Amino acid sequence: MSILAIISSLFLPALISCILLFALYKKVDAYGAFTEGGKEGIRLSISLLPFLLGMLVAINILRASGFLDAFNHALAPILSFFSLPPDLLPLMLIRPISGSASLGMLADLTATYGPEHFISRAAAIIQGSTDTTLYVLTVYFGAVGIKKMGRALSIGLLADVAGMTIAIIITIWYFS
């Protein structure tokens, strides 16, 4: 596992060095490009705020009302059969439907358990390794006027289930 840890910490500096060396070789104005791209980054982050805020408020209301705990508690016996922490279930259910809602849930779990907890890590890996299937299909098919999603939807959702299962197994294996 220590080799993976070394790769993990060397990965980003190596990637950045590659990009910069390539820019030097191609005589690109790297600093100018960096600041241009950075502006786009600021715009993008700010535009995310209303979505994230709206979803975080809704999730926090559900959590503060005690409903999320009751829900998790009710499902705990079934989920523990699959050795799945019940706290991950709301995130897994909403992940294919809304990216900002699942991001809000990830934020909530990370704040509740701390970033080094197994649940936070598993949630982060689930969020990072899957996409908002329904949103992607709606936007892409909608743009060309196709109304029948057909097998694209079944494959997308099945792949989500598989991806989340793999994500949890990998989290257990990688961080133990």
Partner 1 sequence: MVNLIWIFMILFGIVYSIFNGTIDDVNTAMFEASTQAVQLIIGFIAIFTFWLGMMEIAKRAGLLDQLTRLTRPLLRKIFPDLSPSDPALGFIMSNLTANFFGLGNAATPFGLKAMSALQEQNPNKNSPSRSMVTFLCLNTAALTLFPTTVISLRMSHGALDAMDIVIPAFLATCGSCITALLLDRLFWSFSKRRKKV
Within 107-136, the residues that bind partner 1 by CB under 8 A are 107, 110-111, 114-116, 120-121, 124-134, 136
Q: Where are the alpha helices (DSSP H) in the chain?
A: 2-25, 30-64, 67-81, 88-94, 99-113, 118-129, 133-144, 151-174
147 binds partner 1 (CB under 8 A): yes
Among 14, 42, 73, 86, binds partner 1 (CB under 8 A): 42
Q: How many residues bind partner 1 (CB under 8 A)?
A: 103
Residue type, 90: P
Instruction: State the nearest-atom distance from the C-beta of 12 to partner 1, in Å.
Output: 6
Q: Give me 69's structure tokens.
A: 């705990």
Can you tell me whether residue 23 is helix, strand or coil?
helix
User: What is the token pair recorded at 19?
Assistant: 């990009």
Among 78, 91, 162, 176, binds partner 1 (CB under 8 A): 162
What's at 138, amino acid-wise?
Answer: T
- CA-based torsion, 7, 169, 120, 37: positive or negative: positive
Q: Is 76 exposed, middle or buried (0-12, 13-18, 19+ CB in 10 A)?
A: middle
Least Cβ distance, residue 174 to partner 1 (angstroms): 4
Least Å distance, CB 86 to partner 1, is 18
Interface residue with partner 1, options 56, 84, 92, 119 (CB under 8 A) = 56
Residue 110 has a CB neighbour count (10 Å cut-off) of: 17
Binding mask 66-105 for partner 1 (x = CB under 8 A): xx--------------------------x-xxx--x-x--
Q: Which of 65, 73, 74, 78 is the binder for partner 1 (CB under 8 A)?
A: 65
Q: Is 4 in the site for partner 1 (CB under 8 A)?
A: yes
Residue 83 exposed, middle or buried by CB count within 10 Å (0-12, 13-18, 19+): exposed
Tell me whether residue 83 or residue 148 sits nearer to partner 1 (CB atom).
148
